[in-house]
Amino acid sequence: MHGLWNLQTLWFVLICVLWIGFLFLEGFDFGVGMLLRFVGRNPDEKREVIHSIGPVWDGNEVWLLTAGGATFAAFPNWYASMFSGFYLALFLMLVGLIIRGVSFEFWGKVDSPRWRNVWEWTLGIGSFIPALLVGVAFANLIHGVSLSPQGNYTGSFFDLLNPYALLGGVTTLLLCIGHGATFLSLRTIDPVKQRAAAISRIVLPLAALAVIGFVIWTLADSSNRTIGLWIASIVAIVAVAAAAGLATQGRSGLSFIAGGLGIASVVAGWFFALYPNVMVDSNDSAYNLTVWNAASNHYTLVVMTVVALILVPIVLIYQIWTYYVFRHRIGRGGALPKLGNMLSDPAKPTPPAAGTKV
């Protein structure tokens, strides 16, 4: 039955939530990686930047893995068509994530400017690639790609680099940079904090303009202009514009929240623009993949739902606890100031304890 309340729709919504979690959390990680060489001027400052996301970056990537796994299990036909058709783009995204993870681990292994310079560049590139390509991929899903009657992608890699998709990529890229800049302004001390805040005042207005352009193009191009898409589009524009205004006023905390809401609304807009499709054929709507013809059987979806109801709350509680534990600002040289010292004089954190690995 193709009603609103069914397991196919439920899992479509859950996958949307997973992508929101990924871009909200990993978005500022990508931004931090891209900004490392711009806000850090010496090894201590760069260590401070890296340590701001050091305890959480790998956990944030789990949202992407879970989204991919959920897509494979709930919508195997969607997974097969997208991961085979977008193979090169997704491979590049995977390479970016790999070199990014390696950069975190290797940056401090050798006390050599040349060694650190190499891994700083790979960290920036490894953050840039997925931040750009995730927007390109979803914009292509909305815009439509060439599919065969069997649901296989028949275009080329360069067909994916159309103007609308590139605008989608630029939009997610700017959102991640702005999100990372406001995050750094909350997690670091001067002078890194001031440099990050200055970048957020420049990048977030550009992100707002990109969101406006992408939203207008989506509404003009989409044949699926539902009330949900309109609401998500309006919220996205207002939230990112508010984030830009709040950053200008130096209110980094509220700017970070508003920017995160903007990212969530953009992702929600993607899924509203798609539903009930998961992949749109650019030539014949009869070949569209939908939540119905791309889904697993009912029994599989029931088992997945039971498992998700048990495990997802546990994962959320753990991740919330992690962010609570590592909630304080990072001091100079990557040291974690004691809470009392940070509240009394946040610009003068305590040095790391003897034997602390920095």
DSSP code per residue over 143-206: H-B-B-TTS-B-S-TGGG--HHHHHHHHHHHHHHHHHHHHHHHHH--TTHHHHHHHHHHHHHHH
Higher pLDDT, 348 or 291: 291
Percent with pLDDT over 90 in the chain: 63
- Rounded to 5°, the CA angle 284-218-20 comes to 105
Q: Tell me what the mean pLDDT of segment 44-67 comes to.
A: 88
How far is the C-alpha of 358 from the C-alpha of 351, rounded, in Å? 11
pLDDT band, very low/low/confident/very high, at 252 (cuts 50, 70, 90): very high
Phi, psi of 290 (to 5 degrees): -120, 175
pTM above 0.85, yes or no: yes
**If pLDDT is split at 50, 70 and 90, which confidence band does 316 have?**
confident
pLDDT of 271 above 90? yes
Which two three-digit tokens encode residue 258?
Answer: 């508003």
23 confidence band (pLDDT: 50, 70, 90): very high
Per-residue pLDDT averaged across 157-179, rounded?
Answer: 94
Q: Name every residue whose Cβ is closer than 8 Å to that of residue 115 and which is 6 or more positions away in sequence.
A: 109
Residue 260: which of 60, 6, 16, 22 has the closest Cα?
Answer: 22
pLDDT at 315: 84
pLDDT band for position 355 (cuts 50, 70, 90)? very low
pLDDT tops 70 at residue 354: no
Q: What is the pLDDT of residue 5?
A: 58
Q: What is the per-residue pLDDT for 72?
A: 93
* In the predicted structure, residue 81 carries a pLDDT above the cut 70: yes
Reply yes or no on whether the pLDDT at 193 is more than 60. yes
Region 332-347: mean pLDDT is 41
pLDDT at 83 over 60: yes
What share of residues in the chain are helix, strand, coil (percent, to 5)? Answer: 75, 5, 25
CA distances from 217 to 8, 182, 269, 273 (A): 28, 27, 12, 12
All structural domains of the chain, each given as residue ranges with its CATH number in brackets, are 13-295 (1.20.1630)
Whether the pLDDT of residue 336 is over 80: the answer is no
Average pLDDT over residues 87-98: 90
The pLDDT value given to residue 341: 37
Q: Give residue 331's pLDDT.
A: 67
Per-residue pLDDT, 222 = 78
Question: Which tops the pLDDT comparison, 150 or 91?
Answer: 91
- Residues 339-349 have a mean pLDDT of 37
pLDDT at 330: 75
CA–CA distance, 73 with 294 (Å, rounded to integer): 11
